């Protein structure tokens, strides 16, 4: 699911004229919610920047699909993802953030004030912009992934691996991400099945060697996932070995957790005309800051982080973005 619209830089409707008449001027616009966006909002609001936030189609971001969060500081008994996001939202609103439902569909960062269109209906003109649109985990597209969401299906081993200590799990993928997830889980779980579609890994040689030398990782070469099964929670997976060949064979494995490690898609499409991104689409920021290549536009959270992708690091980068924005605005008042 795309959380923010594809790029449309025409600024015009099909009829050839710009029909948007609802225009609002704001000091700081925050695009996207989640730990990064809400934290940026808290800091920006406390700096009297009167931030306006548009949450996107998934208010609270990826954490709203997580049942239990146990690795975020300050919650000794753990907390559900939706509860945590609601707490952060209330905290942002307490200091004066205007939190709104809506999706950014167009962007123009060619000059100040920066222009962002919401739902193709409303134009926001902002003195500074903080992008916190996150990244969307890639899934196989199986109906069972939705059926068992929060019941054994995960796209983050670091987030959820702890819940599968001593159990058997499966990891789908063959690149560096899959190798890293499998190795992390191998330190917690009884057995890790690495489900690889091809007859080789795409991971770096160093990562491959680590996987090969880890005794409780079993690689299932030339296997593809057909579906999952279990009574309310994942209890196993049905795989197809050598799918589409005369040797095709159905294989069932017993697992308690099913981890997707086939990558993420950063939600950056509508900004690519103006902002530098890497080959995957992650927005590039100046090291040690949230600054992009466009002065006055800042990025935080998973939309610019392809390494850590944790709630706590997203929150930290949201803080950085708000502080960077506050200082930049003080030095560059809009005339």
Give the pLDDT confidence score for residue 5 in this predicted structure: 55
Give the pLDDT confidence score for residue 309 in this predicted structure: 85
Active site residue 300: no
Residues 178 and 219 sit within 8 Å (Cβ to Cβ)? no
Give the pLDDT confidence score for residue 304 in this predicted structure: 97
Which one is catalytic: 8, 22, 160, 189?
Answer: 160
pLDDT in tens, 293-334: 999 999 999 999 998 888 999 999 999 999 999 999 999 998
Backbone angles phi, psi at 26, to 5 degrees: -135, 160
* Architecture label for domain 139-260: 3-Layer(bba) Sandwich (3.50)
Fold of 23-136+264-331: FAD/NAD(P)-binding domain (3.50.50)
Give the pLDDT confidence score for residue 61 in this predicted structure: 78
Active site residue 160: yes
Query: For residue 52, what are the contacts with CB-CB under 8 A and spacing of at least 6?
Result: 24, 26, 28, 29, 30, 97, 98, 100, 124, 126
Which one is catalytic: 144, 159, 305, 324?
Answer: 159
Instruction: Please provide the DSSP assignment of 22-53 as one string.
Output: EEEEEEEEEE--HHHHHHHHHHHHHTT---EE
Give the pLDDT confidence score for residue 1 in this predicted structure: 41
- CA angle 29/71/154 to nearest 5° reads 85
Mark the ranges of the chain whose per-residue pLDDT is less than 50: 1-2, 7, 9-17
| Chain position carrying tokens 């060619």 | 110
Q: How far apart are CA 121 and CA 22, in angstroms?
A: 7
CA 265 to chain centre: 8
Give the pLDDT confidence score for residue 17 in this predicted structure: 40
Give the pLDDT confidence score for residue 18 in this predicted structure: 58
Give the pLDDT confidence score for residue 80 in this predicted structure: 87
Residues 300 and 320 sit within 8 Å (Cβ to Cβ)? yes
Give the pLDDT confidence score for residue 16 in this predicted structure: 40
Give the pLDDT confidence score for residue 263 in this predicted structure: 87
Active site residue 156: yes
Which one is catalytic: 119, 144, 156, 176?
Answer: 156
Instruction: Specify the domain boundaries for CATH 3.50.50.60 within the chain.
Output: 23-136+264-331, 139-260
Q: Where in 101-202 does DSSP place strands (E)?
A: 104-108, 114-118, 122-131, 135-137, 153-154, 168-172, 191-195
């Amino acid at each position: 699911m795309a959380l923010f619209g594809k790029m449309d830089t025409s600024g015009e409707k099909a009829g050839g004229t710009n029909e948007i008449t609802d225009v609002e001027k704001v000091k700081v616009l925050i695009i996207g919610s989640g730990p990064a966006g809400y934290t940026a909002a808290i800091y920006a609001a406390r700096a009297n920047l009167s931030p306006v936030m548009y949450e996107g189609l998934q208010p609270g971001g990826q954490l709203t699909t997580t049942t239990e969060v146990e690795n975020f500081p300050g919650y000794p008994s753990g907390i559900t993802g939706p509860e945590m996001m609601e707490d952060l939202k209330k905290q942002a609103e307490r200091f004066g953030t205007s939190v709104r439902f809506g999706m950014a569909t167009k962007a123009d960062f060619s000059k100040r004030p920066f222009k962002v269109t919401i739902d193709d209906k409303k134009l926001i003109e902002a003195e500074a912009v903080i992008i916190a649109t996150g990244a969307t985990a890639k899934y196989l597209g199986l109906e069972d992934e939705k059926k068992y969401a929060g019941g054994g299906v995960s796209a983050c081993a670091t987030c959820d691996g702890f819940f599968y200590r001593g159990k058997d799990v499966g990891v789908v993928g063959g690149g560096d991400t899959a190798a890293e997830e499998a190795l992390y889980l191998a330190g917690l779980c009884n057995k890790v099945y690495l489900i690889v579609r091809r007859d080789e890994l795409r991971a770096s040689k160093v990562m491959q060697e680590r996987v090969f030398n880890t005794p409780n990782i079993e690689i299932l070469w030339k296997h593809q996932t057909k579906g999952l099964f279990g009574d309310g929670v994942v209890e196993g997976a049905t795989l197809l070995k050598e799918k589409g060949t005369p040797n095709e064979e159905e294989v069932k494995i017993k697992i308690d957790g099913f981890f997707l490690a086939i990558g993420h898609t950063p939600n950056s499409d509508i900004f690519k005309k103006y902002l530098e991104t890497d080959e995957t689409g992650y927005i590039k920021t100046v090291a040690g800051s949230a600054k992009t290549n466009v002065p006055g536009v800042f990025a935080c959270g998973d939309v610019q982080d392809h390494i850590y992708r944790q709630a706590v690091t997203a929150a930290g980068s949201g803080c950085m973005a708000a502080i960077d924005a506050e200082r930049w605005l003080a030095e560059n008042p809009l005339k």
